């Protein structure tokens, strides 16, 4: 059984007991435990079930590479699925549940899959479930979906908060092991701004477990001294529980700091996402141990040798009383020695190599440990837990020479450098034949904006696996980084000393001569249940690329992203193809290194602050007066102001009627206001607008159309000539920023010698439209300006003062009524708006929203950008030919409008549409059908509705639309099929429904 | 996540401050031009695997448009320069040739 | 070719699966083919497949510089829908969608087409009107869609947040027979069927030049030697510009990065595909249980298959707002593809200035859903030398004529 040892455990504080639950069972651990070590200490070896066959799964690793031991952590809205127990620090009250089983972890119906595993090889689902056709969607897929999926789905809104920070560094060191710490100290001493990210809560990595000395000091002493030195450097920032998650181009990095996962504190940020710019990045990320592929290697109790060692040394936890060690390298012996030293039994070390004569094997023998070379595990006994192993020859086919009873197996297949970060921005790898590992290729490094290498790798991450090599390599790496940054190294290289190790012997299949039956019991990917036989099947079927094999078998696609399985799988594939490993290649590592929370990525931008909200000076007034808002860009504009239980339609009706009969007020502040000024401003505007703006007299306004260079109508608005050199261009609400950018684009990139300045003044002014037969009376009541017909005619503007507030009054109308738009300084917008309401009370002044605005403009047949236009419409389609200057040689869009499709007489043209039944509104977006179908069998069309409203003024439904030859078909009736299967008939009419003569606005 | 130096304000600007604007040095064709010339100007793009001359706007900064020579494969930036030119400056071309001797120039 | 079935699996299980044959052959190039298709992604393989199946042209090679299906076919978010606004788009995407319905049976390869339904959320009044318009258009086009209200949205997708304070869900365009398929399987299934027809799929073979004489294509030069052909189809998505340059013409195309990501797998919680264009994000749940997430494309020319983090950030932010429960899920895997964006964001299936050379490209961010329809139409174009009804509107001429197929009308991003 696995248990807590009476002594040992560098990380734990035995004086501080911590209570937690697993599947509702109350258990205790110690401060400093991980959930993994605490579960093992409580003999909870079985922790989960695998993905495909629902096989029993136990802890196999001690770090982020763990593929098996995933739990649902926490309860209710704070539940987090798929949390690795090996990286979960234990805290009081922690609650964990195992996943992917039904009805229970111990007895899982899904485990039946295990018994038919032979019928479920890699890719079996591509070959079956094909007939009968509806069965995939209705029968097979629901079953597969339900049985897949690992952890439970969260149900509620996450109550926790997340934050993001920015950081800049000359050097980011990834990994706080001895290699990283040394590099940081050297860089710190050289005066660089250094940031060191360590994913665990501890400094020093695994060296203190593995032993040795640095510069003659025990490793831990050296670590303590180095940390002390680093703490004293103001230019060095050290972060624990902060994982480098990914490297992006030009030195951008993200770090993922887990702030309160280890000590939940509601209200405090849970995670912090670091957004870092680094001139150089040094990966000192160490290496991850590989498993060995022997039959039954997935049983709970079979663990990585280094992990077993970690649990004993760091946490005082033994995975079993009797542990068989199986290895192909000297490092595995460290585990045997550590177990022995802890008083545990190691019945044998099975070494796949023909001989083992290094210092570590000799030390093991000296301790009385039985060492067998050329041996393999050929069978693992047990169901939910290892009870023994069958030993055979590595060179053989799997005959059992001997059975050894044990309750744990420590396996070591060698170490794979963590080269992920090197790969994130395109660095390439080389295959190190001697050590059987991929390491970064310095000749093909990732590069920065200057095209020069911006990453380095030091220590085990670079394939330097013994302590001496680690320190020397780390020193070389940091020396290179300093050279790149124009600094020199002052510190000497530290000398690491540890027992020499003999070369490993690559073992990809154990035993070497295993047949198909045994190979179908050798697990590569524990979580996804991918076995040696699956990879071989993929190769046999032609899925030869490593990407094909990965996708066909799902090897390395699990939540550990193949940290344990990639190299072993690749080697099996290479063997199956008869091609060397480097030729078969490796898959591309991409961020994140281990999964990071969506919450951290989203950061603070949630709910009300999801996006910036733009408010007009009158926004609070609208809120206080019951406005129903609609989003328009980043603005929210009142759609209408429902009063006393009115529906939106009723409110719009009331607002339109009040405006048409007396007085309406609109907050028009969101309209874009761009000043264009300079000696060439007129010339510039003539290029920008389809009509002539240079001839506009000072004091006058003109409605203008703007097209893209591709000819399509992109914006419209009223332009006012302010003085000889200055024009003020109004744009649509959504268009202000876009149009300003458009102007600057042409000014800066095409006509840069023209003397023109632009400024977007949208937010400098509040603007109020005062509309209706009593509009003039209101303004006169406010007092300060003569706005009589004679003094301020239609399309005139004037500066002055209204109600004591500086005002610019434009006599323009988008409703067809007598109308003034008054711009006042934004700071006085609310004051002016309230003054209008106060003075207008006697006229029943009514605030109206965007929908009433739309209805009134449609009643007048005025087009709306975004309704009548959609990016495919040119001014000529809308009967706006009058606004296109025939005199100008050029304007943006003119050439485009000469193309054959733009001058096609069959383009649809703007008309009005009146349903035969006046109470029946044409649906938005309805199409007018034509007879027959096209070559693709689609119903033919001859027009469409662009705007459609119930007109309160006319008491009937009105619409505008684009219709084939429309203007010449007045009076014809078109049929509009609706989505609910009816057909509405509507007559083609003039688009101006109301006050065709335009008398109302001209009083 | 690119960094480009805005030649106007001199800042090494993060990509989040910038807006991309497509191929640079397009020659505008207006009324009277041939259909081929106009279509080429408006739509046809070099889109190279390699050195690309392109437009950027320092939109969350000084607001100026500028031009950059950048490799679309390695994302190496050879230089940035003001937009008020119809041809890449000699210094930029030299910088490219220094690093990419086999570069054949703009297509 | 041995057929796949449950019976075949049982038979093979008895002999430890040693009897499965190769899904596709690994041939050496012939000196000449009737048609060479460059690009063994979904579109290229489908083109070859329908050349054989519909037009009896089987002396075909599909040349691939990497591994078949290794480009955008294996890098997309697998959404299939045909709820497009414009007639030509709706026609080709609906053709594709209807072919997907029976593709597993046609290819004898389970591509796991799952018509689980696609919801496109309307979150502004403008978007409501846009989707109503699409619903009307779809009705005439024979595409089954429906505009539904927020209650129905919630019923179809309980995890959605209807009342996001900034962009409440006002309704949605619902295509019940849209859905997803297994992307790799589409490429592999077509490849197996092409190989079975005697076509040669030449992987790890890069085209280095296009040979021509008298204004017509005569063959290609590759890293495995010169190969002659009567007709050439270029179907290489993001690398179209490179091939076009070899053929001597320019395209209205720019190649930019498009990113996607998946969460760790969780138990089923979302049975439909949801696209939220106002906030730029979309999400579905794969059969493995991963939440599959995408957003808008990056903006600059980029051949790295890597994108910028801030786009991922914006997409995730949008989806955390739309589906608050994903906040505690973790991003497992992230990747990028090179997408070929045309001037009007619609694809090109066209003759080219070079005789007997045809091009299929410009699918941008939405090509996967079109694969069978694209292959069907492209095969017809190549076989006859002239476009059929499916491809008639997608020619290069439209840029000269100003006759665009603009889908941005209905939705900002999409796909």
**Which ipTM score applies to this complex?**
0.97
The last residue of a domain, from among A389, A413, A437: A413
On chain A, the residues whose CB falls within 8 A of the CB of B38 are: 895-896, 899
Return d(Cα A792, Cα C146) in angstroms, integer. 51
Same domain, yes or no: A390 and A434: no
The pLDDT, as a whole number, for residue A608 is 86
Which domain does C42 fall in, by range?
25-82+84-109+183-252+344-401
Q: Which residue of C has its CA nearest to A869?
A: C409
Mean pLDDT for the stretch of residues A92-107: 91
**Residue C413: pLDDT over 80:** no
Angle between helices C42-55 and C183-196 (to 10 degrees): 40
Query: Which of A451, A744, A898 is facing B65, going by the closest CB pair?
Result: A744
Mean pLDDT for the stretch of residues A892-910: 97
Same domain, yes or no: C190 and C57: yes
Q: Which residue of B has its CA nearest to A900?
A: B35
Same domain, yes or no: A281 and A344: no
Domain presence at residue B105: no
The last residue of a domain, from among C326, C342, C358: C342
Banded pLDDT at A506 (limits 50, 70, 90)? very high
Same domain, yes or no: A407 and A439: no
As a whole-number percent, the residues of chain A with pLDDT over 90 amount to 92
pLDDT digits (tens, 9 = 90+) for B64-93: 999 999 999 999 999 999 999 999 999 999
Report how far apart, in Å, the C-alpha atoms of C194 and of each of A930, C372, C380 are.
42, 14, 16
The last residue of a domain, from among A763, A789, A810: A763
| Mutation for testing the C interface, residue in B2, B45, B77 having most C CBs under 10 Å | B45
The pLDDT, as a whole number, for residue A363 is 97
CB contact B27 to C (< 8 Å): no
The pLDDT, as a whole number, for residue C414 is 36
Return d(Cα A731, Cα A723) in angstroms, integer. 19
CB atoms inside a 10 Å sphere around CB C30: 12
How many structural domains compose chain C?
2
Please, which residues have CB within 8 angstroms of residue A945's CB and are 6 or more apart in sequence? A913, A922, A923, A924, A925, A926, A927, A959, A960, A961, A976
Domain presence at residue A658: no
Residue B62 sits in a domain whose CATH number is 3.30.2270.10
What is the overall mean pLDDT for chain A? 96
In A826-980, the DSSP E strands lie at: 846-847, 908-915, 927-933, 939-951, 956-964, 973-977
The pLDDT, as a whole number, for residue A143 is 83
Banded pLDDT at A936 (limits 50, 70, 90)? very high
Q: Which residue of B has its CA nearest to C313?
A: B16
Same domain, yes or no: C199 and C173: no
pLDDT digits (tens, 9 = 90+) for A291-340: 999 999 999 999 999 999 999 999 999 999 999 999 999 999 999 999 99
Paired strand residues for A20:
A27, A94
Same domain, yes or no: A281 and A424: yes
Same domain, yes or no: A342 and A487: no
Domain presence at residue B11: yes
Same domain, yes or no: A453 and A430: yes
Same domain, yes or no: C167 and C271: yes
Domain presence at residue A652: no
Residue A699 sits in a domain whose CATH number is 3.30.70.1400
Same domain, yes or no: C238 and C363: yes
**Residue A100: pLDDT over 90:** no
Banded pLDDT at A906 (limits 50, 70, 90)? very high
Domain presence at residue C298: yes
Four-point Cα dihedral C152, C157, C163, C165, nearest 10 = -140
| Chain A stretch 731-790, residues whose beta carbon is closer than 8 A to a beta carbon of chain B | 741, 744-745, 748-750, 752
CB atoms inside a 10 Å sphere around CB A179: 35
pLDDT digits (tens, 9 = 90+) for A439-456: 999 999 999 999 999 999
How many structural domains compose chain B?
1
- Lowest mean pLDDT across A141-145, A431-435, A845-849, A896-900: A141-145
CB contact A890 to B (< 8 Å): yes
Distance from the A185 Cα atom to the nearest Cα atom in chain B, whole angstroms: 28
How many structural domains compose chain A?
5
Indicate yes or no: CB of B74 within 8 angstroms of CB of A252.
no
C77 three-class SS? coil
Residue A58 sits in a domain whose CATH number is 3.10.20.440
Return d(Cα A987, Cα A995) in angstroms, integer. 19
Same domain, yes or no: A107 and A83: yes
Same domain, yes or no: C102 and C133: no
Indicate yes or no: CB of A153 within 8 angstroms of CB of C267.
yes
pLDDT digits (tens, 9 = 90+) for C337-387: 999 999 999 999 999 999 999 999 999 988 999 999 999 999 999 999 999
Domain presence at residue B106: no
CB A954 within 8 A of CB C165: no
Distance from the C366 Cα atom to the nearest Cα atom in chain B, whole angstroms: 20
Same domain, yes or no: A330 and A262: no
Indicate yes or no: CB of C21 within 8 angstroms of CB of A541.
yes
The last residue of a domain, from among A763, A781, A797: A763
Report how far apart, in Å, the C-alpha atoms of C278 and of each of A991, C159, C295 are.
31, 18, 11
Banded pLDDT at A566 (limits 50, 70, 90)? very high
Domain presence at residue A87: yes
Same domain, yes or no: C373 and C260: no
Indicate yes or no: CB of A936 within 8 angstroms of CB of C264.
no
Banded pLDDT at A682 (limits 50, 70, 90)? very high
Interface contacts B/C by beta carbons within 8 Å: 65
The pLDDT, as a whole number, for residue A135 is 87
Distance from the A43 Cα atom to the nearest Cα atom in chain B, whole angstroms: 48
Same domain, yes or no: C327 and C222: no
CB B77 within 8 A of CB A771: no
Same domain, yes or no: C40 and C174: no
Same domain, yes or no: C157 and C216: no
Sign of CA dihedral A122, A128, A130, A135: negative
Any idea which residue has 């101006």 for tokens?
A: A992
Query: Which of B16, B40, B73 is facing C303, going by the closest CB pair?
Result: B73
Nearest to A893 by CA among A906, A905, A877: A877
Indicate yes or no: CB of C26 within 8 angstroms of CB of A544.
yes
Domain presence at residue B104: no
Domain presence at residue C220: yes
The helix (run of H) or strand (run of E) holding residue C24 is none
Return d(Cα C338, Cα A503) in angstroms, integer. 43
**Residue A391: pLDDT over 70:** yes
pLDDT digits (tens, 9 = 90+) for C295-335: 888 999 999 999 999 999 999 999 999 999 999 999 999 99
Domain presence at residue C39: yes
Return d(Cα A230, Cα A196) in angstroms, integer. 10
Return d(Cα C8, Cα C16) in angstroms, integer. 12
Any idea which residue has 């002659």 for tokens?
A: C228
Same domain, yes or no: C64 and C173: no
Which domain does B63 fall in, by range?
3-99
Q: How far is residue A942 CA from its own chain's centroid?
A: 43
Return d(Cα A376, Cα A873) in angstroms, integer. 76
**Residue A24: pLDDT over 90:** yes
Tokens, residue A994: 């109301």
Domain presence at residue B73: yes
| Chain A stretch 264-293, residues whose beta carbon is closer than 8 A to a beta carbon of chain B | 277
Report how far apart, in Å, the C-alpha atoms of A730 and of each of A164, A631, A808, B30 are.
38, 20, 13, 26
Domain presence at residue C76: yes
The pLDDT, as a whole number, for residue B88 is 96
CB contact A249 to B (< 8 Å): yes
Indicate yes or no: CB of A126 within 8 angstroms of CB of C188.
yes
The helix (run of H) or strand (run of E) holding residue A990 is none
The chains in contact with chain A, meaning 3 or more Cβ pairs closer than 8 Å, are B, C
On chain C, the residues whose CB falls within 8 A of the CB of A590 are: 333-335
On chain B, the residues whose CB falls within 8 A of the CB of A710 are: 42
Indicate yes or no: CB of A277 within 8 angstroms of CB of B42.
no
| Chain A stretch 857-876, residues whose beta carbon is closer than 8 A to a beta carbon of chain C | 866-867, 870-872
Please enumerate residues of C whose Cβ is less than 8 A from a Cβ of B. 239, 241-242, 245, 250-255, 299-304, 308-310, 343, 399-400
Q: Which residue of B has its CA nearest to A454?
A: B76
Which domain does A679 fall in, by range?
672-763
Please enumerate residues of B whose Cβ is less than 8 A from a Cβ of A. 1-4, 14, 19, 21, 28-33, 35, 38, 42, 55, 57, 59, 63-65, 71, 74-77, 83-84, 99
Nearest to A433 by CA among A581, A583, A587, A584: A581
The chains in contact with chain C, meaning 3 or more Cβ pairs closer than 8 Å, are A, B
Return d(Cα A483, Cα B44) in angstroms, integer. 44
Backbone angles phi, psi at C33, to 5 degrees: -130, 160
Same domain, yes or no: A352 and A245: no
Residue A934 sits in a domain whose CATH number is 2.40.30.110
Domain presence at residue C337: yes
The pLDDT, as a whole number, for residue C415 is 36
The pLDDT, as a whole number, for residue C141 is 97
The pLDDT, as a whole number, for residue A12 is 98
Domain presence at residue C15: no
Residue A395 sits in a domain whose CATH number is 3.50.50.60
Return d(Cα A350, Cα A328) in angstroms, integer. 9
Indicate yes or no: CB of C129 within 8 angstroms of CB of A867.
yes
Q: Which residue of C has its CA nearest to B22?
A: C300
The pLDDT, as a whole number, for residue A107 is 85
Please, which residues have CB within 8 angstroms of residue A15's CB and are 6 or more apart in sequence? none
Domain presence at residue B107: no
Same domain, yes or no: C273 and C316: yes
Q: What is the DSSP string of A131-185?
A: SSTHHIIIIIHHHHHHHS--BPPP-S----EEEEEEEEEEEEEE--BHHHHHHHH
Return d(Cα C35, Cα A851) in angstroms, integer. 58
Same domain, yes or no: C246 and C357: yes
Q: Which residue of C has its CA nearest to A609?
A: C166
Angle between helices C183-196 and A546-553 (to 10 degrees): 110
Tokens, residue A997: 């003569």
């Amino acid at each position: 059984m696995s248990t807590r040892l009476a002594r040992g455990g560098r990380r734990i504080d035995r004086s501080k007991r911590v209570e937690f639950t697993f599947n509702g069972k109350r258990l205790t651990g110690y401060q400093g435990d991980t959930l993994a070590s605490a579960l093992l200490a409580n003999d909870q070896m079985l922790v989960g079930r695998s993905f495909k066959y629902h096989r029993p799964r136990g802890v196999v690793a001690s770090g982020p590479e763990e593929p098996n031991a995933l739990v649902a952590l926490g309860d209710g809205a704070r539940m987090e699925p798929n949390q690795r127990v090996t990286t979960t620090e234990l805290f009081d009250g922690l609650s964990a549940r195992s996943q992917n089983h039904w009805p229970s972890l111990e007895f899982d119906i899904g485990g039946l899959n295990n018994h038919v595993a032979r019928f479920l090889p890699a890719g079996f689902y591509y070959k079956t479930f094909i007939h009968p056709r509806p069965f995939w969607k209705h029968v097979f897929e629901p079953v597969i979906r339900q049985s897949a999926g690992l952890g439970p789905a969260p149900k509620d809104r996450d109550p926790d908060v997340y934050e993001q920070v920015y950081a800049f560094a000359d050097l980011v060191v990834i990994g706080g092991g001895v290699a990283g710490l040394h590099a940081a100290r050297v860089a710190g001493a050289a005066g660089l701004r250094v940031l060191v990210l360590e994913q665990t809560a501890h400094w020093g990595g695994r060296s203190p477990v593995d032993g040795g000395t640095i510069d003659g000091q025990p490793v831990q002493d050296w670590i303590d001294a180095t940390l002390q030195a680093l703490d004293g450097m103001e230019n060095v920032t050290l972060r624990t529980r902060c994982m480098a998650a990914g490297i992006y181009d030009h030195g951008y990095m993200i770090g993922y700091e887990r702030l309160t996962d280890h000590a939940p504190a509601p209200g405090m940020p849970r995670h912090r996402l670091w957004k870092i710019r680094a001139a150089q990045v040094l990966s000192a990320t160490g290496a991850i141990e590989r498993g060995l592929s022997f039959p039954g290697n997935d049983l709970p109790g079979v663990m990585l040798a280094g992990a077993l060692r970690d649990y004993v040394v760091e946490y005082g936890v033994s995975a079993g009383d009797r542990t068989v060690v199986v290895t192909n390298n000297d490092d595995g012996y460290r585990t045997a020695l550590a177990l022995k030293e802890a008083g545990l039994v190691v019945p044998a070390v099975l070494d796949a190599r023909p001989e083992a004569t290094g210092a570590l094997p000799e030390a093991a023998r000296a301790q009385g440990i039985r060492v067998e070379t050329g041996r393999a595990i050929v069978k693992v006994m047990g169901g939910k837990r290892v009870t023994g192993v069958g030993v055979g020859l590595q060179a053989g086919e799997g005959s059992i020479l001997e059975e050894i009873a044990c309750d744990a197996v420590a396996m070591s297949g060698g170490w794979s450098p963590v080269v992920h970060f090197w790969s994130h921005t395109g660095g390439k790898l080389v295959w190190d034949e001697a050590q059987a590992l991929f390491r970064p290729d310095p000749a093909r490094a990732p590069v920065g904006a200057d095209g020069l290498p911006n990453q380095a790798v030091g220590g085990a991450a670079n394939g330097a696996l013994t302590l001496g090599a680690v320190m020397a390599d780390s020193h070389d790496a940091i020396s290179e980084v300093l050279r790149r940054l124009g600094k020199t190294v002052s510190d000497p290289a530290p000398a690491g000393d540890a027992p020499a190790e003999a070369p490993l012997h690559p073992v990809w299949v154990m035993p070497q001569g295993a047949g198909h039956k045994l190979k179908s019991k050798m697990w590569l990917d524990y979580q996804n249940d991918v076995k040696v036989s699956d990879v071989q099947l993929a190769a046999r079927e032609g899925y030869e690329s490593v990407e094909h094999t990965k996708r066909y078998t799902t090897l390395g696609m699990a939540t550990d992203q193949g940290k344990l399985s990639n190299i072993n799988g690749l080697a099996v594939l290479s063997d199956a193809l008869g091609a060397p490993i480097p030729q078969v290649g490796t898959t591309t590592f991409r961020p994140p290194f281990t999964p990071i929370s969506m919450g951290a990525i989203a950061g603070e931008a949630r709910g009300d602050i999801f996006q910036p909200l733009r408010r007009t000076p009158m926004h609070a007034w609208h809120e206080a007066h019951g406005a129903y808002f609609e989003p328009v860009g980043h603005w929210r504009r009142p759609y209408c102001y429902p009063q006393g239980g009115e529906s939106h339609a009723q409110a719009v009706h009331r607002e339109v009627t009040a405006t048409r009969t007396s007085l309406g007020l609109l907050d028009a502040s969101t309209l874009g206001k761009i000043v264009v000024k300079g000696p060439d401003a007129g010339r510039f505007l003539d290029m920008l607008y389809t009509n002539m703006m240079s001839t506009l007299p000072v004091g006058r306004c003109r409605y203008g159309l703007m097209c893209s260079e591709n000819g399509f109508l992109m914006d419209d608005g009223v332009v006012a000539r302010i003085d000889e050199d200055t024009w003020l261009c109004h744009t649509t609400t959504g268009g202000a920023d876009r149009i300003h950018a458009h102007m600057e684009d042409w000014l800066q990139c095409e006509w840069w010698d023209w003397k023109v300045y632009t400024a977007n003044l949208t937010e400098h002014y509040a603007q109020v439209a005062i509309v209706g037969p009593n509009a003039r009376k209101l303004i006169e009541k406010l007092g300060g300006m003569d706005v009589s017909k004679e003094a301020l005619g239609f399309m005139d503007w004037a500066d002055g003062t209204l109600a004591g507030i500086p005002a610019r009054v434009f006599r323009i109308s988008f409703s067809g009524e007598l109308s003034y738009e008054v711009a006042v300084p934004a700071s006085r917008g609310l004051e002016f708006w309230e003054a209008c309401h106060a003075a207008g009370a006697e006229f029943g002044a009514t605030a109206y929203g965007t929908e009433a605005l739309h209805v009134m403009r449609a009643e007048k047949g005025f087009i709306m950008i975004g309704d009548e236009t959609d990016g495919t419409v040119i001014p000529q389609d809308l009967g706006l030919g009058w606004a296109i200057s025939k005199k100008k040689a050029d304007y943006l869009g003119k050439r485009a409008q000469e193309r054959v499709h733009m001058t096609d007489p069959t383009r649809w043209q703007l008309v009005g549409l009146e349903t035969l039944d006046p109470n029946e509104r044409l649906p938005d977006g309805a199409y007018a059908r034509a007879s027959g179908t096209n070559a693709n069998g689609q119903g033919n069309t001859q027009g469409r509705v662009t705007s459609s409203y119930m007109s309160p003024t006319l008491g009937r439904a009105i619409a505008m639309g684009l219709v084939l030859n429309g203007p010449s078909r007045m009076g014809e009736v078109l049929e509009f099929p609706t989505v609910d299967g009816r057909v509405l008939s509507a007559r083609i009419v003039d688009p101006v429904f109301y006050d065709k003569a335009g008398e109302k606005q001209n009083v | 996540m690119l960094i480009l130096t805005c030649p106007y304000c001199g800042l090494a600007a993060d990509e989040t401050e910038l807006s991309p604007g497509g191929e640079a040095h397009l020659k505008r064709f207006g009324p009277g031009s041939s259909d081929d010339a106009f279509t080429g100007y408006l739509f046809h793009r070099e889109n190279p695997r390699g050195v690309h001359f392109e437009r950027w706007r320092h939109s969350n900064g000084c607001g100026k448009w500028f031009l950059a020579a950048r490799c679309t494969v390695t994302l190496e930036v050879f230089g940035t320069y003001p937009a008020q030119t119809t041809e890449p400056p000699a210094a930029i071309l030299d910088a490219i040739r220094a690093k990419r001797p086999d570069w054949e120039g703009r297509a | 070719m041995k057929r796949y079935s449950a019976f075949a699996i049982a038979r093979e299980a008895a002999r430890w699966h040693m009897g499965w044959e190769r899904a596709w052959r690994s041939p050496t190039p012939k000196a000449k083919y009737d048609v060479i298709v460059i690009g063994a992604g979904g579109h290229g393989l489908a083109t070859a497949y329908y050349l054989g199946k519909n037009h009896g042209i089987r002396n075909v090679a599909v040349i691939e510089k990497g591994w078949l299906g290794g480009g955008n076919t294996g890098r997309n978010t697998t959404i299939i829908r045909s709820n497009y606004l414009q007639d030509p788009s709706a026609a080709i995407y609906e053709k594709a969608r209807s072919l997907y319905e029976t593709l597993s049976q046609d290819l004898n390869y389970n591509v796991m087409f799952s018509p689980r339904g696609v919801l496109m959320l309307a979150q502004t009044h403008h978007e409501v009107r846009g989707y109503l318009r699409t619903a009307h258009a779809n009705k005439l086009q024979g595409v089954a869609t429906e505009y539904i209200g927020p209650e129905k949205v919630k019923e179809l997708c309980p995890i959605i947040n209807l009342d996001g304070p900034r962009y409440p869900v006002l309704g949605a365009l619902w295509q019940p027979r849209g859905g997803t398929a297994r992307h790799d399987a589409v490429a592999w299934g077509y490849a197996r069927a092409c190989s079975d027809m005697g076509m040669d799929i030449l992987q790890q073979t890069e085209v280095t030049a296009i040979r021509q004489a008298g204004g017509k294509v005569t063959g290609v030069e590759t890293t495995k030697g010169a190969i002659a052909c009567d007709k050439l189809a270029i179907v290489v998505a993001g690398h179209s510009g490179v091939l076009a340059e070899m053929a001597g013409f320019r395209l209205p195309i720019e190649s930019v990065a498009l990113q996607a990501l998946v969460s760790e797998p969780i138990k089923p919680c979302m049975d439909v595909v949801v696209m939220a264009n106002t906030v730029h994000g979309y999400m579905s749940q794969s059969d493995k249980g991963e939440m599959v997430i995408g957003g808008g494309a990056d903006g600059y020319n980029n051949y790295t298959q890597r994108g910028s983090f801030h786009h991922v950030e914006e997409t995730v932010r949008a989806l955390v707002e739309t589906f608050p429960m994903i906040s505690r899920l973790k991003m497992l895997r992230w990747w990028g593809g090179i997408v070929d964006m045309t001037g009007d964001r619609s694809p090109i299936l066209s003759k080219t200035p070079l005789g007997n050379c045809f091009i299929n490209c410009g699918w941008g961010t939405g090509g996967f859903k079109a694969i069978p329809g694209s292959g069907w139409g492209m095969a017809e174009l190549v076989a006859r030398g002239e476009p059929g009804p499916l491809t008639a509107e997608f020619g290069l001429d439209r840029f000269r004529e100003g006759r665009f197929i603009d889908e941005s009308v209905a939705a900002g991003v999409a796909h």
